Amino acid sequence: MSDCLIVGGGVIGLMNARVLALSGAKVTLFDQSECGKESSWAGGGIISPLYPWMYSDFLNEMSFKSQAIYQNLCAQLLESTGIDSEYLRSGLLMMDEYDSLAAVAWLKKNKISYKKHTQGALFTEVAQVRNPRLLKALKADIIALGVEIIEHSKVDNLIIDNEAVRGIVAKNKRYFADNTIICAGAWSSFLLGSEYNIFPIKGQMIVLKPRVNVIENIVLDKGRYLIPRKDGSILVGSTTEDVGFDKSTDEQTAIELLEFASSRFAILDGANIEHHWAGFRPASKADVVVSKHQSLQNLYINSGHFRNGLNTAPESANIILGLISNAN
């Protein structure tokens, strides 16, 4: 297996590094700050698209295949690193959209059933992970596999020669490899240009610590969700804001998220907001991009997943591995 450079250390980049390292490749991963501290850390950790019928067959296929292996993946990471990603099949209670024409047709086509619930439809197989812990486990695992991680090192340019990418430039230093994979999330277009229009959509979230256990299932309604963690905390999210790379949070949004939670579960009214943060989803005007570059050889892209990076990461990494293997 040939040498590979990976740009971006979120869940997509880390998962790509793991799959490539396991295949025998020598892998170097670059991150402009710290691995797993951006969108992958900021998200909720739901291993499923929120409303899957709103996405392409390609994205859903990646998600189905990833869902099928996540439990074993987390078990492998626990064994190799001692870090529990807190995989939990908590189920998802969907309060809206499940009975729309598009949803009914998609569920029938994919032979997916749900349990009727007084508040909607309960999809019992939907699982979650504690995404910061998953990221920590992935990082420890790939280091043990021999992946070199270079953090706080922004990749400024690609080294291009004769319509092929030969490596990257970071901090005025040139790094060469047989293959380069762009997994830089919302920052991907800085290297790929307008040919791939990937841009940030900010999401703000809060975490509550109620006095008693309130919910057992993930709850989804009108595009927002509540996610119960094993420690009793509840994540509430998320906004979708097209504001560029502005990661600021505002008190009014925190209040609105708390009001969303308490309107579904009155016991959460007035609950203490322990933390409030924001992250950038990598959105795309087209579909998620998991492919070879359209015109440059040796360059691969795994980006533009919007809300679905975590739940498609394992299979998207497998696809990239297949593309590289077939090209060599």
Rounded to 5°, the CA angle 121-127-133 comes to: 145
Query: Which residues, 6 or more positions from 246, have their beta carbon under 8 angstroms from its beta carbon?
Result: 202
Q: Residue ranges of the chain with pLDDT lower than 50? A: 1
In a domain, 5, yes or no: yes
Give the DSSP letter string of 155-210: EEEEEEETTEEEEEEETTEEEE-SEEEE--GGGTHHHH-TTS-EEEEEEEEEEE--
Question: How far from 322 is each of 80, 137, 317, CA to CA, in Å?
Answer: 25, 24, 9
Looking up residue 310, the CATH number of its domain turns out to be: 3.50.50.60
Give strand pairing partners of 19.
Answer: none
- In the chain, the number of structural domains is 1
Are 2 and 179 spatial neighbours (Cβ–Cβ below 8 Å)? yes
Residue 12 lies in a domain: yes
Which pLDDT score, from 0 to 100, does residue 328 have? 72
**In-domain check, residue 317:** yes
Q: Per the domain annotation, does 59 fall within a domain?
A: yes
The first and second tokens of residue 306, run together, are 């919007």
Confidence at residue 228, expressed as pLDDT on a 0 to 100 scale: 95
- Residue 207 covered by a domain: no
Distance CA 238, CA 260 (A): 10
pLDDT recorded at residue 176: 97
User: Which residue in the block uniquely carries the two structure tokens 């439809």?
Assistant: 121
Measured distance CA(236)–CA(218) in Å, rounded: 10
Evaluate whether residue 267 is within a structural domain.
no
pLDDT of residue 211: 77
CA triple 308-15-278, angle to 5 deg: 45
Q: Is residue 274 part of a domain?
A: no
Q: What per-residue confidence (pLDDT) applies to 270?
A: 84
Domain, as residue range, for 72: 1-88+128-197+285-328
Amino acid 212: pLDDT = 76
The answer to whether position 249 is within a domain reads: no
pLDDT of the residue at 84: 98
Task: Give the distance from CA 178 to its chain's centroid.
Answer: 26
